[in-house]
Chain A
Amino acid sequence: MTMTESDVRPGLLARFLRGRIWYGAEWWMTVIGGLIVLFITSMTIASFITPNLAPYNPEASVAGPFEPPSFQHIFGTDQLGRDIFSRIIYGAQIVLQVAFLSATTSLVVGVTVGLISGFVGGWADKAISLVMDSIYSFPGLILAIALAAMLGSGILNISIAIAVIYIPTFFRLVRGQVLSIKEELYVEAARSLGARGRTMLWRYIFPNVIPSIVVVFSMNVADAIITEAGLAFIGLGVDPSLPDWGYDIYRGRSELVGGRWWPVTFPGLAIALVALGFSMFGEGLSEILNPRLTES
């Protein structure tokens, strides 16, 4: 038996360049989502490295209070005369740090526990599932508020508070996948080869769960961004002295009555845009990584 040229499936990049990753109209969603994700991430990293990325110091009074958007201050200024545009650029640091940190924490914990629980089964699985389900049944934001109030402020504490509410998402996803993959013939094949339990879990089950994890991770970052903003809005933010989108909205909201719309609108738009970017990217990734829906 020899191979023909067409046996070789083109790589992901080649397929991407040909615009043939998947059928349907969803491809532009991934591209737009990906661009937003790329933009916001690189901007945040850049603002870490170069302190003068933004036009003004985000924490200094640079103009009169509540100046409407103009050429000097394109998003206007807040009640202390700080440039809102600069605050948004620096505020991204905190939002993204918390979002990534919390999503990563819940990924590591949720995936590990999910893998073990699903694979081992029995009463241990039942007990863990019960705990996870009870966390899951709690309204996410309320749980995060309680935890944040308990743990106090700071990036790490807020991240943990948010991470806890997303652990069950990963757990349920991974456990469900493990339960179904465990029944796949190739896992039985591994057993008949003489593989140990941990080999089966690590080499045969885990690699087949990864694509779904990546997708859910991206979605969870989007969710965590909104949750972090929500916590900051009610005053459970990382640090009131640092620029924070949620906290800025909180302080700007009372000014809406006076017709001063810019302190609320621009941070709000930033949150919406970034959360949307991550979810679109996640949706798109799920189309690429799980092409079974479109491929016969």
Chain B
Amino acid sequence: MSESLVEVRNLDLDYPTRRGVIRAVDKVSISINRGEILGLVGESGCGKSTFGRALLRLPPSPGEIVGGEIVFDGQDLMELDEESMRRLRGARISMVFQDPMTCLNPLQSINDHLMETIQAHQTNVSNKEARELAVSILNRLGIKPERLDDYPHQLSGGMRQRVMIGLALALNADLIIADEATTSLDVIVEAQFLDWLRELQQELNLTILLITHNIGVIAEVSDRVAVMYAAKMVELADAFSLFDKPLHPYTEGLLASVPNIELEEDTLEIMYGSPPNLLKPPRGCRFHPRCPHVMDVCREEEPPFREVNPGHWAACWLYE
């Protein structure tokens, strides 16, 4: 049993919109273990990105966390004041986004970025030591030291994403949240990045929450995988159990509808319908209108999210 770094319990998050309040994250409970890559997968609008940002208590505006606990390293983040929270962001939890250009200052060189980050959080570091640290981080990123003085626009997309991870390394962040970090990369660069990330994670025992809609990416690097559907967590398991024997019909349908270049068949399973509107989610299980195994109880009552097999959680009446 590995020790958990983050423990989220019954997290609720609301978005007021002009047509009513949307609960974008609904009673989500999950733990992230130290030293694992937890893949969080779901379709657009399922709440996975919002969940990732909620961990920093920075939900996209005008969202608001309305209930639940986020216990990070023994500390309930919901009880911290704004100032302590600000110090925690970046220093202990780092976020990497889809488009690194929006997070890097175009007028600062890579060196400036790294030095500033190092010195902002470790005040007793001299310039020389900080520079040495920056060079050693760059080595880890697989970027040549002579590029230290380059500006963000001179780097390629893959390199920029590495620099973002590098900034997290410079801080010794305990948790890195990567939100669609590979989505804008081309397939070969994406694969390079994932290989590199996996190696780095194992070497430094990093804890990474990898949020993506790309199931191939999840399968490539995740230790455990969580699946979200319509603001709910529907399944959580280690990668092998989840891909080999998915319990929730949604996960099953999702996996079957993903193109797989390795398989011989040339037809895909089709999942009919589309995710529900969160202003008016269906009663009972939110997947029931699309579910091939729907039963009466599914239409009335919400299935509990529970541990069906050891380490394999699912929210489905089939297993009650």
Contacts and interface: CB of A to CB of B under 8 A. Distances in A.
Determine whether A and B are in direct contact in the complex, meaning some CB atoms lie less than 8 angstroms apart: yes
* Chain B interface mostly: loop
Interface stretch (B151-159, B179-187, B274-282): B274-282
Interface string B263-280: 000000000011011011
A6 B279 CA distance: 8
A10 B19 CA distance: 9
A6 B19 contact: yes
Contacts of B279: 6
Nearest to B60: A296
Contacts of A4: 276-277, 280
Contacts, number: 17
Which of A1, A6, A295 has the largest number of chain B CB atoms within 10 A? A6
A20 B280 contact: no
A23 B17 CA distance: 10
B81 to A, nearest CB: 28
Interface string A252-281: 000000000000000000000000000000
Given A15-B18, A20-B18, A6 B280 contact: yes
Contacts of A295: 18
Nearest to B272: A1
A1 B274 contact: yes
A5 B20 CA distance: 14
A6 B22 CA distance: 13
Interface in B278-299: 279-280
B60 to A, nearest CB: 8
A24 B254 CA distance: 40
Nearest to A6: B277
Interface residues on B, range: under 10
Contacts of B19: 6, 10, 20
Interface residues on A, range: 10 to 19
B18 A5 contact: no
Nearest to B15: A296
Nearest to A22: B18
Interface in A1-38: 1, 4-7, 10, 15, 20, 23
Interface string B1-31: 0000000000000000011000000000000
A180 B19 CA distance: 31
A23 B274 CA distance: 29
A13 to B, nearest CB: 14
Contacts of B18: 15, 20, 23, 295
B278 to A, nearest CB: 9
A29 B262 CA distance: 61
Interface string B39-55: 00000000000000000
A23 B18 CA distance: 8
A7 B277 CA distance: 9
Nearest to A23: B18
Nearest to B276: A4
Contacts of A23: 18
Which of B18, B274, B276, B280 has the largest number of chain A CB atoms within 10 A? B18
B280 A5 contact: yes
Contacts of A1: 273-274
Contacts of B273: 1
Contacts of A20: 18-19
B22 to A, nearest CB: 11
A20 B280 CA distance: 19
Nearest to B16: A23
A20 B18 CA distance: 6
A25 to B, nearest CB: 15
Nearest to B277: A6
Contacts of B276: 4
A30 to B, nearest CB: 16
A6 B274 CA distance: 14
Contacts of B277: 4, 6-7
Nearest to A21: B18
A7 B276 CA distance: 11
A19 B16 CA distance: 14
A292 to B, nearest CB: 14
A23 B19 CA distance: 12
A118 to B, nearest CB: 30
Contacts of A7: 277
Nearest to A4: B277
Nearest to B280: A6
B20 to A, nearest CB: 9
B280 to A, nearest CB: 6
A207 to B, nearest CB: 24
B59 to A, nearest CB: 13
Interface in B233-287: 273-274, 276-277, 279-280
Interface of B: 18-19, 273-274, 276-277, 279-280
Given A6-B280, A15-B18, A23-B18, 7 more contacts: A1-B274, A4-B277, A4-B280, A5-B280, A6-B277, A6-B279, A20-B18
17 contacts: A1-B273, A1-B274, A4-B276, A4-B277, A4-B280, A5-B280, A6-B19, A6-B277, A6-B279, A6-B280, A7-B277, A10-B19, A15-B18, A20-B18, A20-B19, A23-B18, A295-B18
Task: Please give me the 8 A-B residue pairs with the lowest Cβ-Cβ distance, nearest first.
Answer: A20-B18, A6-B277, A6-B279, A4-B277, A6-B280, A6-B19, A1-B274, A15-B18
